[in-house]
Structure 1
Amino acid sequence: MKVFAPDLIQFAVEGPQPLVREIAPAAAYPSVDLGPLRAAVEAVQGRTQAPVAIPAASALTVASLVVQGFANVETLGGPRPVSLYALTIARSGERKSSCDAPLMAALRDFENQEAKAQRDAVTAWQNAHAVWKGERDGILADAKRSKGEKKVAARADLDALGVEPAEPANNDRTVTEPTFAGLTKLYQTGQPSLGIFSDEGGQFLGGFGMNSENRQSTLAALNDLWQGNAIRRTRAGDGHATLYGRRLAVHLMVQPSVARAFMADRMAADTGFLPRFLICEPPSTIGTRLHANARVDDGVLAKFADRLRAILETPMPMDEETRELLPRVLPLAPEARDLLIRFADTIEAAQAPGGDLTHVTGYASKTAEQAARIAGVLALWQDLETPAVTAQDMGNGITLAQFYLSEAVRLADAASVSAEVDRAEMLRKWLVEKWEHPEVMARDVVQFGPNSLRETPKACAALIILENHGWLVRLERGTVVRGAPRKAAWQIVNGSGNVV
């Protein structure tokens, strides 16, 4: 039987180490696999010296926005939209706006020009509508004073007058923080292909549409849009509306604190909303962005803007009366389909119990479809009339989808590590501030410790983390602590490396 003897314990010279959330480093972004978007992304990265993943997400999503109305891509589960949702996590100062602006510039110019044209169109419509309404009111007034054949003639006059002139469609393609009711109204009166784009994505995630009362319905509706389902909305004041053939692309840039709260939202995860996003948190480049290293290639960005403008000016296939999109199906070339099948099988096997992707099945189960969507975007960006997704397109899509899956795995692991370290820090403070003995056992923590640690597995995990960081020293088995030999006990160390 051993008796506890503090002088027998050897402490590291440097003393206890701070509790740091150990997050695996991000993989390098595979910019070579951006295909036709690569040059523009690297031009923006060279100009801003920001992490390349930031302009990459901007380029992918703006390309998705402008091509999503033209085709659905073949996937292993049937045709799907090429709409992409992206969540880019970067702290203030990472030049998110500077990355987004040059890639969105042609879209913003197009929206501005269309807004000016629409003002003229609205004026013409107002005049035509006033004339139509005046004539209709006159016919109805005459009909009230008439009988018999004159009433029949009035009905004929109304038929000849025709339908009410339609108000010109709103030409905006993007919004920043809509409620779903507002988005639905815009789909009714505007374009059938829209995007939610914000370099301050916290405004949307913290807005009215995502508050506790509206969150569930908003998430479900956005899930439906990602899937390509019809919008069905019933309200007492507005009646019932069903809108078919609408598409939505999303790119939200958010600060890490906002992202953590969003990713911790069980509803966002359980509804499958989060796994629909291509998520990344690239390593910071702040402190390395020297002016001497900046590279400017305006010619490449001009070509990107020209291609973006050309697609925007191409009429989308739609029913002119209902504005329902009528996209064609973009098939996969046989070699592309074979690649996708092999990739999907690999991802499926990794989701089995004990596999590398067991804890991220929500993301993993959508990865093959994400690969097909990305491949479809790259193919359509090159040629809206392309006959099929090639093996090259699919290879690029698979590599990019695999990168985003690796980020989902990394950030999920980081969230788990963060929670464990947070509990360990809570235990450390409790030991320093409230625990009166120089040693501690798991049973002490379970019985007297913080509420969140009153389960043996959580208590033991926190004790081991503190041991690994030098805040506790494990005593030999059988050491007498408080009058009895113990199987497992720890000696507490203060911040200077001395026993308490």
Structure 2
Amino acid sequence: MTAKLLKSAAPPAEDWPELVPLDMPSLPRLNLEHLPGWVGDYAQAISADTETPPELAAGMVLVTCATAAARRLRVMVKPGYVEPCNLWAVVALPPGNRKSAVQSAATASLITWERDQATIMEPEIQRLTSERKTLEARAKEKRNKAAKEKDHGKAEQLAREAADIEAELPEIPRPTQIWTSDATPERLGSLLAENNECMAWLSSEGGVFDLLQGRYSNGIPNLDLVLKAHSGDAERVDRGSRPPVFLRSPRLSIGLSPQPDVLRGLAAKPGFRGRGLLGRFLYLLPPSPLGYRPLGSNPVPKDVKDAYNAGLRAMLDWEPSLDEHREEQPHVLSLSPEAYSEWYAFAQAIEQQMRPGQPLEHFTDWAGKAPGAAARLAGILHGIKHAHGKPWEAAITADTMTDALEIMAVMTHHSLAAMDMMGTDPSIAAARQVWDWIKRGRRSHFTEREAFNALRSRFPRMDMLRSALSALKERGYLEMIEPPRDGPGRPPSPIVRVRTDISRDWQ
């Protein structure tokens, strides 16, 4: 019956609609040789230890180093054009890929450095806390006397003395914090204000997008501060009961490793694409090794780990530059003439590819920021190479710029694929999974019920499966055939017939 129905319903090969591909494009891999010395060695080692793609380790290590570099460095591409060294990166991988382990390995030195800074600051914090309590007690004593004093003149004098004491209350410093994994945009403003305007937002999940979408603000996106903290633009931060502060040049680094499904559909979130949020990230979409890992043991060598910890700590301990008001500001890195020529050629190539009909025509929000991202990468790589010295005393070389541009070339392919993914319907991801099941079994035809029974763990409801099948039908991969109903009872399950010019190659 099924064979007869298929034969009678089969359209000629030329009558099938044009096939619209579902597969992700074949993306180039990131060569860790473009990461300098101790950083490249460590990224390679944790990739081998965790049996994860090198892109995951590279992305997380680069953002960690950017967290240190952004505190003290900025890149002058040319007079009047300066880029900070903070970086936004997303490395998307499915669950089970040990993303948390990689991020923990990359950021462990940040935690250790924060703890050491807290220990160093503890005696001063205790001293100032004691001094403040003493002054507060004196102010309170005078206010109590003023309240009881019957002589109006004396009462006013005591009140003034209390106010003078309160004006001299010392500000108690907070232990230095340089990263967070969960903060509302409002809290992020306070963290930046309290930590020399430089922070990192690091997470192995994609919850940052929920926070920016307005999880705690009735769904109203709050993007202003975050967008300005990417470019280093000034912003005023209101801190509730505390006085507001003016951020002169906030610098925020972001490192995320969410599931690919988190990215799908992000372009439809209010403001995310239109205001340029998504175009500020550098994306990596490595293939998942799950199912092909040897499950061996490759611990990170102690000397490699020690070199990474020492290098990152040296970057975190760089001395700041001081302006005419004795306030801290980042040092300025310059490009050698050869490095500038390399960067300029890249910027020109990106500019031309944004023209109508060119590859970047529909990705100008990302492409417009690519030259700046390349300069930032070069600054970070330069800082890594000179971690144990004073990187601001040497110009960024052509070799360093070449490494940055090689990394950017790979990230460009991945970022365009990610931007395309974020604009697609979530049903495409489901369609890919159904099509993978069809291909693995070389199924030229099957019933809807058979597919539902085989894929029930992924599609617990029939309507979810039908949505995926519908997407495959729309793109020309298959057709649905409704068998005739014979008598009462449940109708027979629809038959799914795979495109003949594809299934013929499976025979």
Name the CA distance, whole Å, in 1 between partners of 2:225 and 2:165: 41
Name the CA distance, whole Å, in 1 between partners of 2:431 and 2:165: 79
1:332-378 Cα offsets, whole Å, 9 max, x none, are 11111111111111111111110011121111111111100000011
User: Which TM-score applies when normalising by structure 2?
Assistant: 0.74
Name the CA distance, whole Å, in 1 between partners of 2:247 and 2:71: 15
1:125 aligned residue (115, 124, 128): 128
Name the CA distance, whole Å, in 2 between partners of 1:356 and 1:85: 23
User: Which TM-score applies when normalising by structure 1?
Assistant: 0.75
Residue matched to 2:200: 195
SS in 1 for 2:25: coil
SS in 1 for 2:82: strand
Distance 1:422 1:142, change over 3 A: closer
Residue matched to 2:452: none
The alpha-carbon deviation at position 133 of structure 1 amounts to 2.3
Residue matched to 1:485: none
What CA RMSD, in Å, does the superposition of the two structures yield over aligned residues?
Answer: 4.1
Of residues 361-370 and 307-316 in structure 1, the stretch that sits farther from structure 2 once superposed is 307-316
Residue 225 of structure 1 contacts residue 246 of structure 1 at CA under 8 Å; is this kept in 2? yes
Residue matched to 2:336: 333
Distance 1:19 1:313, change over 3 A: same
Q: Return the structure number with greater relative CO, CA threshold 8 A, min gap 6.
A: 1
The alpha-carbon deviation at position 229 of structure 1 amounts to 1.2
Of residues 141-150 and 296-305 in structure 1, the stretch that sits farther from structure 2 once superposed is 141-150
Residue 333 of structure 2 contacts residue 379 of structure 2 at CA under 8 Å; is this kept in 1? yes
2:479 aligned residue (466, 471, 474): 471
Distance 1:30 1:324, change over 3 A: farther
Unaligned runs of at least 5 residues, structure 2: 1-6, 433-446, 449-466, 482-493, 501-507
Pairing 1:105-124 to 2, within 5 Å after superposition: 105-124=108-127
Name the CA distance, whole Å, in 2 between partners of 1:497 and 1:85: 42
Residue matched to 1:172: 177
The alpha-carbon deviation at position 55 of structure 1 amounts to 0.5
Residue matched to 2:26: 25
Match status 1:409 vs 2:416? yes
Name the CA distance, whole Å, in 2 between partners of 1:419 and 1:359: 20
Distance 1:254 1:292, change over 3 A: closer
Name the CA distance, whole Å, in 2 between partners of 1:216 and 1:8: 51
Aligned residues: 439
Residue matched to 1:206: 210
Pairing 1:18-417 to 2, within 5 Å after superposition: 21-36=22-37, 37-75=39-77, 78-137=81-140, 163-199=168-204, 201-207=205-211, 210-211=214-215, 213=217, 218-234=222-238, 238=242, 240-292=244-296, 294=298, 296-317=300-321, 325-383=328-386, 384-386=390-392, 387-414=394-421
SS in 2 for 1:68: helix
Residue 170 of structure 1 contacts residue 189 of structure 1 at CA under 8 Å; is this kept in 2? no
The alpha-carbon deviation at position 380 of structure 1 amounts to 1.4
Distance 1:420 1:124, change over 3 A: closer
The alpha-carbon deviation at position 393 of structure 1 amounts to 1.3
Name the CA distance, whole Å, in 2 between partners of 1:498 and 1:107: 54
Name the CA distance, whole Å, in 1 between partners of 2:87 and 2:220: 21
Name the CA distance, whole Å, in 2 between partners of 1:411 and 1:131: 58
Distance 1:135 1:10, change over 3 A: closer
Residue matched to 2:504: none
1:133-167 Cα offsets, whole Å, 9 max, x none, are 23444566778868989998997998799821110
Of residues 301-310 and 410-419 in structure 1, the stretch that sits farther from structure 2 once superposed is 410-419
Distance 1:261 1:107, change over 3 A: same
The alpha-carbon deviation at position 21 of structure 1 amounts to 2.6
Pairing 1:479-498 to 2, within 5 Å after superposition: 494-495=495-496
Distance 1:306 1:215, change over 3 A: farther
Residue matched to 1:486: none
Name the CA distance, whole Å, in 1 between partners of 2:139 and 2:9: 102
Distance 1:161 1:255, change over 3 A: closer
Distance 1:68 1:216, change over 3 A: farther
Residue 245 of structure 1 contacts residue 326 of structure 1 at CA under 8 Å; is this kept in 2? no
Name the CA distance, whole Å, in 2 between partners of 1:205 and 1:143: 53
Of residues 130-139 and 77-86 in structure 1, the stretch that sits farther from structure 2 once superposed is 130-139
Residue 192 of structure 1 contacts residue 324 of structure 1 at CA under 8 Å; is this kept in 2? no
| Equivalent AA in structure 1 for residue 63 of structure 2 | T
Name the CA distance, whole Å, in 1 between partners of 2:127 and 2:324: 19
Distance 1:130 1:319, change over 3 A: farther
Name the CA distance, whole Å, in 2 between partners of 1:253 and 1:353: 33
The alpha-carbon deviation at position 382 of structure 1 amounts to 2.2
Name the CA distance, whole Å, in 2 between partners of 1:212 and 1:137: 38
Distance 1:97 1:423, change over 3 A: closer
